[in-house]
Chains A and B, each alone.
Chain A
Amino acid sequence: MIEPYNKLVKLAARAFYDDLTSKGDNQPKTGRSDNRGIAVVVLDALTRRQWVREEDLAKDLKLHTKQLRRTLRFFEEEKIITRDHRRETAKGAKIYSAAVAATADGQQTAKEGEEKVKLHTHSYCCLDYAQIYDVIRYRLHRMKHKLKDELENKNTLQEYICPNCAKRYNALDALRLVSFEDEDFHCESCNGRLEVESDKIASQEGGDGDDNARRRRREKLKDMLQKMEVQLKPLMDQLSRVKDLPVPEFGSLQAWEARASAAVRAANGDINAGDSKISQLGYNGVPMPYSGDTKVVVDFNNAEGKGEGVKSETDGTGLKVLPPWMITSGMNLTKEQRGEVKQEAKMDGTSTSTAAQYTDDKKSTIGLEDNKNIQDEYIKAYYAALLKQQQELEEAAKTQLSNTPPADDPSSSTSNRQVGMKSKREEDDDGTEWEEAPFTGNGNEGYKVDLNVEAEEVPADQEEDDDVDWEEG
């Protein structure tokens, strides 16, 4: 799939960049330093590579890196290649090496030697096939267009140049260039008399004006156009050949590296040590902490506790604890709905007295009689839900990790519930309840009185409630 594109690159290289010299401006043009054809060599070499470190390319081509870089910079400007520069340590460079090894089907064992932590800027380059296709087409279009325009001597923008300061203008500037002293155009900066610019291909051998010259010019243009059609035919054919082919894409340097090393890992089957170490390295050479193989451990005791927590919440949604202000006397409610069950079950200390008081308070204000049947029913439903929850949890755990030891019998775990995590969980629940209930409670007045009495004894979180109450009151 890449071959037709490579052929296109090679043809274009020979057509357009054959006589390119990458000489420095200050160097004398001697025969020895004549390096025409380098561009073609470089482009050809690039068609045999993907992303390549420029130093390596220079070494392969036996070119000086500076010279190569000059050529590459030119191609970058021509939009033929993409380049990437990054600062990296010798280690970081290995990521690339590994990727190269991957694409070259070679096995490179990255040796972990003593590397300097010094950062070097490395440049990489790669052919940009998609853009090359467009660039070549555009170039051909412009060539043809220019010749045709001149041939017809039509739609061309006349250019003018100032002989003094070499400033250039075109016909669109005409309005600003006219002076009323004479009939010439004058330079805006130095008021010099502008001359018609004649850098057009055909008028190079002078003689504009007389018919002979004009005819010769047309002949020459026609000739050039024809030559162009003939000589660039292979290139145009190749263009039309690749037109419907998918463009080879290597992506950015990093993406390409990632893909290449992934490919090598897939080929190797297991993760070989050197490779994985390389991938653990950041690009700036700072080793990332080795996290090891990811292991999934399911702790069932924990999970149980969690499950219960979840369960009680879902239960809560099933049978909501009604806020005290919604409870009116004569309502047929479970204890849980009134928030009583939990408080009775709660075992430990700090807020017990207040809790009890609160419950008493509510009881006294509401005066709801306990309904034993409903309570029993609730407990049944509670345990059923709990069982279901446990089973679901177990199912989930099983699908996650098939080789973990089977969970305890759900029924036993429900009985366990009473012992281990329960009191803690209940405490949590109580905490939240404590914050909410007094707030909305219709027993607000009575509660407040209680608080006043026991002001010294209340724990810190209740003092917050107190504060709020103060604000409200």
Chain B
Amino acid sequence: MFFHIVLERNMQLHPRYFGRNLRENLVSKLMKDVEGTCSGRHGFVVAVTGIENIGKGLIRDGTGFVTFPVKYQCVVFRPFKGEILEAVVTMVNKMGFFAEAGPVQIFVSNHLIPDDMEFQSGDMPNYTTSDGSVKIQKDSEVRLKIIGTRVDATEIFCIGTIKDDFLGVINDPATV
């Protein structure tokens, strides 16, 4: 799920950035620092959308670095149990397959793949129905449901299922 929230971060800036463009430097550094990162609490930071407030800088003893408390708005993506996502398959093996939905990695184990799909090994491993009409392989697009999340301080990993109504392949690159 996406959220637009305000976060705060203490930015350390090297003295060489001080000057007319201090603010721009600060913002670009903020984007570089936080976009794409993940915190267990808020999820993945997708994009910084605005700066709320930049507080007074504090010069660090000894280094000359200055710490600015920066409040910024950003879009975060936080997966939840029960959420339905569309994802791209990245790897298939006999244990199941991995898929990505943006920054989130999801693993679907083989017992959460419909029973009528069998694993086929080869240089393009895949899961295929017995009549061959549906195939899951690398780069397939699937709709899946998250059934579990593993949330660490800096990492979120999900497991999902496609064993439910309206889940499974939504766009097979091989047939298009």
- Contact yes or no, B159 A196, CB < 8 A: no
Closest residue on chain B to residue A159 by CB atoms: B109
A184 within 8 A of B: yes
Within 8 A of A (CB), among B129-160: 147-150, 157, 159
**B103 vs chain A, min Cβ distance (A):** 13
Rounded to whole angstroms, the CA-CA distance of A211 and B32 in the bound complex is: 53
- Contact yes or no, A175 B157, CB < 8 A: yes
B107 within 8 A of A: yes
Which residues of the other chain, A, contact B57 by a CB distance below 8 angstroms? none
Interface membership of chain A positions 180-207, coded 1 if the CB is closer than 8 angstroms to chain B and 0 otherwise: 0001110000000000100000000000
Rounded to whole angstroms, the CA-CA distance of A175 and B104 in the bound complex is: 11
Apart from A171-B109, A172-B157, A174-B159, 4 more pairs, CB < 8 Å: A153-B111, A171-B107, A174-B157, A184-B94
- Contact yes or no, A172 B95, CB < 8 A: no
Which residues of the other chain, A, contact B93 by a CB distance below 8 angstroms? 178, 183-184
Which residues of the other chain, B, contact A171 by a CB distance below 8 angstroms? 96, 107, 109, 148, 159
Which residues of the other chain, B, contact A419 by a CB distance below 8 angstroms? none
Within 8 A of A (CB), among B154-176: 157, 159, 161, 163-164
Which residues of the other chain, B, contact A155 by a CB distance below 8 angstroms? 147-148, 161
Interface centre among B91, B93, B95 (most CB of A within 10 A): B95
> Would you call the interface of chain A mostly helix, strand, loop, or mixed?
mixed
B112 within 8 A of A: yes
Which residues of the other chain, A, contact B121 by a CB distance below 8 angstroms? 183
Provided the pairs A156-B111, A158-B109, A158-B112 are in contact, do residues A174 and B148 lie with their beta carbons within 8 angstroms? no
Interface membership of chain B positions 21-37, coded 1 if the CB is closer than 8 angstroms to chain A and 0 otherwise: 00000000000000000
Rounded to whole angstroms, the CA-CA distance of A157 and B147 in the bound complex is: 9
- Contact yes or no, B163 A154, CB < 8 A: yes
Select one of A153, A157, A185 contacting B148, CB under 8 A.
Answer: A157
A120 within 8 A of B: no
Rounded to whole angstroms, the CA-CA distance of A178 and B96 in the bound complex is: 11
- Contact yes or no, A183 B148, CB < 8 A: no
B98 within 8 A of A: yes
- Contact yes or no, B159 A172, CB < 8 A: yes
Which residues of the other chain, A, contact B91 by a CB distance below 8 angstroms? 178
Chain A: residues with Cβ within 8 Å of the partner, total of: 18
Rounded to whole angstroms, the CA-CA distance of A153 and B98 in the bound complex is: 20
Q: List 26 A-B contacts (CB under 8 A).
A: A153-B163, A155-B147, A155-B148, A155-B161, A156-B112, A158-B110, A158-B111, A158-B112, A171-B96, A171-B107, A171-B148, A172-B148, A172-B157, A173-B150, A174-B109, A174-B157, A175-B98, A178-B93, A183-B92, A183-B93, A183-B95, A183-B121, A183-B125, A184-B93, A184-B94, A196-B111
Closest residue on chain A to residue B82 by CB atoms: A155
A233 within 8 A of B: no
**B123 vs chain A, min Cβ distance (A):** 11
**B43 vs chain A, min Cβ distance (A):** 17
B115 within 8 A of A: yes
Closest 4 CB pairs of A and B: A183-B93, A158-B109, A174-B107, A172-B150
Closest residue on chain A to residue B105 by CB atoms: A175
Select one of B92, B95, B125, B147 contacting A185, CB under 8 A.
Answer: B95
A214 within 8 A of B: yes
**B137 vs chain A, min Cβ distance (A):** 13
Which residues of the other chain, B, contact A175 by a CB distance below 8 angstroms? 98, 105, 107, 157
**B106 vs chain A, min Cβ distance (A):** 9
Rounded to whole angstroms, the CA-CA distance of A158 and B161 in the bound complex is: 11
Closest residue on chain B to residue A183 by CB atoms: B93
- Contact yes or no, A174 B96, CB < 8 A: yes
Which residues of the other chain, A, contact B95 by a CB distance below 8 angstroms? 158, 160, 174, 183-185, 196
**A191 vs chain B, min Cβ distance (A):** 16
- Contact yes or no, A178 B161, CB < 8 A: no
Rounded to whole angstroms, the CA-CA distance of A174 and B158 in the bound complex is: 10
Rounded to whole angstroms, the CA-CA distance of A172 and B93 in the bound complex is: 16
Which residues of the other chain, B, contact A174 by a CB distance below 8 angstroms? 95-96, 98, 107, 109, 157, 159
